[in-house]
Amino acid sequence: MPKEGLGSELEVTAIVKGTKNLAAAKKLADWAATKKANELYAKTYPIVAYPGVANLPTNYPPDIEKTMVKNDIEWMAKNRDRILAEWTKRYDGKSAPKK
């Protein structure tokens, strides 16, 4: 594993502002955070959010979560525009041509 840490991909559940069925959206979001839901997620993802629920493939280090880069999601949200501008400056030349 890289000594700097591993990246990760996040799958999320959210309620969209102005949704037409807020009660159903809340019910889904509440369920998505349950142990049962995370046990289902663990069928296709090795690491899930619910503590103690995982499905690590053979040869995965048992402490893989400790090697993941610590992300400050709140900081990233507050600095979103600056991050996107820097990303565009560095990598937009590699993007598909804009139509």
Asked if 54 and 42 count as a contact pair (C-beta separation under 8 A), the reply is yes
Report the Cα–Cα distance between both ends of the chain, in Å, rounded: 40
Predicted local confidence at residue 74, as pLDDT: 94
Handedness of CA 77, 79, 85, 89 (dihedral sign): negative
Predicted local confidence at residue 81, as pLDDT: 97
Give the pLDDT of the chain (99 residues) as one tens digit per residue: 777 888 877 788 999 999 999 999 999 999 999 999 999 999 998 889 899 998 888 888 878 888 888 888 899 999 999 999 999 999 988 777 777
Angstrom distance (rounded) from CA 26 to CA 46: 26
Asked if 68 and 5 count as a contact pair (C-beta separation under 8 A), the reply is yes
Predicted local confidence at residue 68, as pLDDT: 84
Asked if 20 and 29 count as a contact pair (C-beta separation under 8 A), the reply is no
Predicted local confidence at residue 65, as pLDDT: 81
Asked if 53 and 42 count as a contact pair (C-beta separation under 8 A), the reply is yes
